[in-house]
Amino acid sequence: MPSCTSELPVRIYYLCTGNSARSQMAEYFTLHHAPAGTVQAASGGTDPQGVHPLTAEVMSELDIDLSRASSDLLDPDLLQKSDLVVTLCADARDSCPALPPQVSHRHWPLPDPASEPAKVENFRHAREQIEGYVISLLNELDLR
């Protein structure tokens, strides 16, 4: 696992199926909470669906702006160059290409807040869980 003794910035790649909610939140919480220059965070999906409007809404409640966020297809090159890959759903974990030995992997099994019916409460709950995971990860990496 990378740490502050590793070369900075630490490159973290968050993966989910749609890259519409969970992975977007994780990417933006990482950028929000990590000290400048210590982390490069990105997110991608196995089947990108666009950033869900409720994702942007609940993040804006915390003054985190997702207006520039894009829903991107999993990038094999970025995957290979990452220090850590975090999957946020079983589909992304199961369909993730093999990682080289130097890339660490974490799995955060979180329910999809966009499941029918998509409710703002589901997105707020996911947001709280993901922020907790991200803060714990950054503390573990000595990046807070």
- Model's pTM, two decimal places? 0.92
**pLDDT tens by residue, 110-130:** 999 988 787 999 999 999 999
Please indicate whether residue 4 is annotated as part of the active site.
Answer: no
What local confidence, expressed as pLDDT, does residue 4 receive?
45
Give CA–CA dist 22/124, Å, rounded: 11
Superfamily of domain 10-140, CATH level 4: Response regulator (3.40.50.2300)
- Between 137 and 90, residue with greater pLDDT: 137
- Give the up-direction half-sphere exposure of residue 8: CA atoms within 13 A in the CB hemisphere: 12
Q: Which of 10, 15, 16, 42 is catalytic?
A: 16
Q: Which of 89, 130, 137, 138 is catalytic?
A: 89
| Residue listed under structure tokens 């990860």 | 137
Q: Is the pLDDT of residue 62 over 60?
A: yes
Q: Which of 64, 96, 103, 135 is catalytic?
A: 96
Q: Is the pLDDT of residue 94 over 80?
A: no
Contact 55, 27 (CB under 8 A): no
